[in-house]
Amino acid sequence: MFEYTEPLHHLIEELKKFPGVGAKSAQRMAFYLLSISMEEANRLADAILEAKRKIFYCSVCNGITHVDPCPLCTDPHRSDELLCIVEEPYNVASIEKTGIFNGRYHVLLGTLSPLKGKGPEELGVDKLLSRIEKGKFKEIILATNPTSEGEATAFYLASLLKKFPVKITRLATGLPVGSDLDFADQITIRRALEGRVELKD
Amino acid sequence: MPLDFTEAIVLRSFPSGELDKIVVFFSRDKGLIKGRAKGARKFGNRFGSSLEPMSYVKVFYYEKERQDFVTISQCDLLESFLDLQTDFETSCFLSYWAELIEEFYPARIKEELLFRLLLSCLRALKEGGNRHFITNYFEIWLLRLSGLLPDTRRCQRCHRQLSQQVWLSPKKDGFLCERCSLEKKEPLPSDLITFINWTKKNSPFERAPLSPDISRQLAPIIQSWLIYHLEKEPRSLKFLKT
């Protein structure tokens, strides 16, 4: 059976470890990497090493950063009374792009998922609770995904946060902008009806 | 590449690539099916909430020869159990059921009775049934349908009629009477035999013959049989114990 030369085989095997990359994609990427100049390859390798060396999780919010605490946690123009809890570091970027949220963030780095072996301990719930206890938050927004795991996580956190004198809110769910009512399933329509808002002048 | 469809319950789904999801279905007439739902993670996608775990759906899919995954083209939600999963403890139980089905049954083996069992248990839970009791019920029936539930009528060794006091055989595949039980450990709780016999004749919607406390006491015994036959502990079980 034909096998690629050892260094190429090794490269393909390493690339296959990337999420969503199968054997064919890994092979295509490996051949692309062979085709680029040595200078470009060095730049890519340096970028990977630099990111690995300099980027870590913020000790306050668990977001990815190169300084600790991260700029979002130390920014004096952001409100200390609002806290938005998200699943993953890239969710912070999605909310920041809207430009309407000016509070602090907390990244859970996952959701409660019994099938993946992730429970409250793995999510670092204690760290979150101690942050809320020490902080001056007046509202906590649970911005986990509207999936079964995200919902379970949000409701679990809400039950733990009841003891604090804070307002607990959840991101609205319902019809996505630009979609058609006919194609929405009953759960989505029900959520949209439950979360309907009054139209004011 | 013909279009096929089946009624199914989603056991789990996980991200694949940038926009897709891999979904594991347990279908009424085709057993376990794994499929790829293209664009299922895209905002405003056509699948909506139908691919969330424990959704009862009608799934339409294409299948190519020599491919592990079918391609899901449409998924209509028949009944949703998403609200049950807002409670973390209940979601642990549901994950445990899903894991047991995936572990016990190979792909593409028709198990209509098991499908009906899962759907009935989900509906019983939705109607406010006790999750410990319904899980015990599900476990007993799963063992029974797999041919692994010990005979509650006769001693495995001497074939005499069993009384209420029984012992588990060393291989955990049968019950022994007092005379045949050599190890003379603690007998199994008498409620266990009563409960097993009750499950054979009643649905999970019926009023439980056990108190929630006794139901919790029986759980480790029934789970030890499942672990023995699986030869490993289900991952989600550790969350039920804590």
DSSP per residue over B121-135, as a string?
Answer: HHHHHHTT--HHHHH
pLDDT tens for B226-238 read: 998 889 999 898 8
Q: Is the pLDDT of residue A27 over 80?
A: yes
Note whether A183 contacts B46, CB cutoff 8 Å: yes
Q: What is the DSSP string of B140-182?
A: HHHHHHTT-SPPSSB-TTT-PBP-S-BEE-TTSSSEE-TTT-S
> Which of B17, B91, B239 has its CB closest to that of A148?
B91
Structural domain contains residue A128? yes
A147 and A118 in a common domain: yes
Judge whether A74 lies within some domain.
no
Q: What is the pLDDT of residue A51?
A: 92
Sign of the C-alpha dihedral, residues A103, A107, A112, A115? positive
Backbone angles phi, psi at A11, to 5 degrees: -60, -45
Same domain, A150 and A84: yes
Q: What is the mean pLDDT of residues A8-35?
A: 91
A85 and A166 both lie in a single domain: yes
Same-domain check for residues A103 and A137: yes
pLDDT at B172 over 80: no
Does residue A156 share a domain with residue A90? yes
Residue A13 confidence (pLDDT): 94
Residue A119 is part of a domain; what is its CATH number? 3.40.1360.10
Q: Is the pLDDT of residue B199 over 80?
A: yes
- Residue at B32: amino acid letter: L
| A184 contacts B96? CB cut-off 8 A | no
Q: Does some domain include residue A42?
A: no
Residues A140-198 have pLDDT tens digits of 999 999 889 999 999 999 999 999 999 999 998 888 887 788 878 888 888 889 888 88
pLDDT computed for residue B189 by the predictor: 83
CA distances from A3 to A8, A10, A15, A29, A30 (A): 10, 11, 17, 17, 14
DSSP string, A141-154: EE---SSHHHHHHH
Give the residue on B whose Cα is nearest the Cα of A179. Answer: B44
Instruction: Give which of A143, A135, A145, A152 is closest to A170, Cα–Cα.
Output: A143
Comparing CB atoms, the residue among B53, B77, B87 nearest residue A186 is B77
A180 and A166 in a single domain? The answer is: no
Bridge-based pairing of strands B175-176 and B167-168 is: antiparallel
Give B167 or A159, the one with higher predicted confidence.
A159
d(CA B73, CA B164): 54
| Owner of token pair 């690995």 | A52
> Is the pLDDT confidence value at B185 over 80?
no
- Structural domain includes residue A40: no
Q: Residue A1 pLDDT > 70, yes or no?
A: no
| CB-CB under 8 Å, B99 with A185 | no
CA distances from B7 to A62, B10, B90, B113, B124 (A): 42, 10, 24, 14, 19
* Residue A128 sits in the same domain as residue A166: yes
- Flag if B235 and A117 touch (Cβ within 8 Å): yes
Q: Respond yes or no on whether the N-terminal peptide bond of residue A69 is cis (omega within 30° of 0).
A: yes
Same domain, A196 and A133: no
Do the Cβ atoms of A105 and A84 come closer than 8 Å?
A: yes
Q: Each residue of B2-24: pLDDT tens digit?
A: 689 999 999 999 888 778 999 99
Q: How high is the pLDDT of residue B176? A: 85
Q: Which domain holds residue A183?
A: 175-201
Please count the structural domains in chain A: 2
Check residue A184 and give its pLDDT: 82
Domains of chain B are: 3-80 (2.40.50.140), 85-241 (1.20.1440.120)
Residue range A116-141: mean pLDDT, rounded: 91
- Residue A21 domain flag: no
Evaluate if residue B224 carries a pLDDT over 90. no
How high is the mean pLDDT of chain A? 91
pLDDT above 80: residue B63: yes
Tokens 């410990």 — which residue? B132
Residue A90 lies in a domain: yes
pLDDT at B215: 81
pLDDT of residue B192: 85
Q: How confident is the model at residue A201 (pLDDT cuts 50, 70, 90)?
A: low
What is the arithmetic mean of pLDDT over A91-101?
93
pLDDT value of residue B241: 76
Q: Are A135 and B66 in contact (CB under 8 A)?
A: no
CB atoms within 10 A of CB B152: 16
The reply to whether A163 and A84 lie within a common domain is: yes
Are A138 and A193 in the same domain? no
Residue B213 scores a pLDDT above 90: no
Do A91 and A145 lie in one domain? The reply is yes
pLDDT in tens, B77-127: 999 999 898 899 999 999 999 999 999 988 888 889 999 999 999 999 999
Q: What is the pLDDT of residue B93?
A: 94
Is the pLDDT at B184 greater than 80? The verdict is no
Whole-number average pLDDT of chain B: 88
Alpha-carbon distance of B30 to B9, in angstroms, equals 12
> Which of A25, A111, A112, A115 to mutate to test binding with chain B, by most B CBs within 10 Å of its CB?
A115
How far, in Å, are A38, A73, A77, A152, B7 from residue A107 at the CA level?
Answer: 38, 12, 20, 16, 38
> Does the structure show a pLDDT above 80 at B242?
no
Is residue A27, in this structure, part of any structural domain at all?
no
- Two tokens, residue A151: 């919902």
Question: Whole-angstrom Cα distance, residue A157 to residue A162?
Answer: 9
Asked if residue A183 and residue A112 are part of one domain, the reply reads no
Q: How confident is the model at residue B1 (pLDDT cuts 50, 70, 90)?
A: low
Inter-CA distances, B138 with A39, A117, B53, Å: 61, 22, 17
pLDDT band at B66 (very low <50, low <70, confident <90, very high): confident
Nearest to A176 among B44, B80, B92 (CB): B44
Q: What percent of chain B has pLDDT over 70?
A: 97
Q: Which residue bears the tokens 């509202």?
A: A139
